[in-house]
Every structure is written in C-alpha cells, then in structure tokens.
Amino acid sequence: MNIPDYQSIMLPLLCFACDEKEHSLREAIDVLAEKFALSKQERKELLPSGRQPTFDNRVGWARTYLKKAGLLQITRRGYFQISQRGLQVIQSNPKKVDVNFLSQFPEFVEFKYAKQQLPEDRDELESNGESTPEEALEIAIKRINENLISELLQVIKTYSPAFFEKLVIDLLVKMGYG
C-alpha cells in the first residue's frame, strides 16, 4: 500500500479523536499507521529533505488543517483533542473530509486563502503607478511578517507559562544578552 496523502488521513484522524480524550501526535501516527497497514519500510520513508518520515509529516498536516477548521483543538505541545465542532462533524457521518469539506468553515477559509491577499496588494500597487519595486517588496515583506507574527502568537498562546518563560530566556541568550 502507498502512503496516503494528508487529505485521506483527515477523516481517520478525526475518528481517532472522537473519544474526546487528549491524544499525542505520536500516538495518532502509530494508530493511523496500523489502520492504513503501513509496512515498517513505508513508515521509515523520508521526505525529500531527509529530515522527517513522510507519513508523520502527512499526519501533522492533516492535524493542522483540522485544527484550522476548528475540528481539533491543541491542548498542549504535541497534544490535541476533538472540539465540539469536530464531534458534530463526526455525528453527521461524512463520507470524506478533505480541503473542499473544510472550506465550509470560515476559520479554515481565512487560513487557506489568506495567502491570496498579497497579490491584491501587488495589483493595487501596480495600478496606481506611483510605487517603486522597492516599495512593493516592502509591502510584501510586511504582509508576510504580519502573517508570521499572527501564527507564532497563536502557537505560543497554546503553551504553558513555563514554556513562554523558557522561550524568552532562550531568545535573550541567542540575542547575546545572556
């Protein structure tokens, strides 16, 4: 059997979490690998970068997409559980959960299509004829930085205060203040 794509993993991952308990990503990867009857060789197959197993990466992306749609919630680092919305989806007995299915949720649409706002800015810059390429580049960088800041803050807020304290200390040390 081939390694399933991340969209094929979404529904089984959601079903796995429907017991309403907190689960680790590692536990989900192991259970889903059994469900998909992956061989040891398939489980060890790495991404082209050679840094992570392909199946682990795809389960991670499935979890991310389900989280962005509000079907799963992150409880702490490396752990998640099903949300009320996720339970409602499971109770509706969907045949398939994929990107098209998740597009019914506004939070997912905002996440998925936020990247497309940048070209609108570019068109706006080109249409006024007054912006230089440097200005257009600065606006694009600003938009990317804003998105990165927003995503980082969302992730950091899910962790404990102790994690945040360690993060600040590590950052200060890396900046040469320690």
Q: In a 10 Å sphere around its CB, with 0-12 CB exposed, 13-18 middle and 19+ buried, how is residue 36 labelled?
A: middle
pLDDT, one tens digit for every residue, the chain (178 residues):
689 999 999 999 999 999 999 999 999 999 999 999 999 999 999 888 778 899 999 999 999 999 999 999 999 989 999 999 999 999 999 999 999 999 999 999 988 877 555 444 444 444 444 445 656 677 788 888 888 888 888 878 778 888 889 988 998 999 988 7
- Measured at the CA of 131, the angle between CA 128 and CA 134, to 5 degrees, comes to 155
Q: How far apart are CA 116 and CA 5, in angstroms?
A: 24
Q: Where are the domains of the chain?
A: 6-104, 113-174
Q: How many other CB atoms sit within 10 Å of the CB of residue 162? A: 8
Candidates 3.40.50, 1.10.10, 1.10.890, 1.10.3470; correct CATH number of 6-104?
Answer: 1.10.10
- At 132 the pLDDT is 56
Tell me, what's the pLDDT at 153?
81
pTM recorded for the entire structure: 0.66
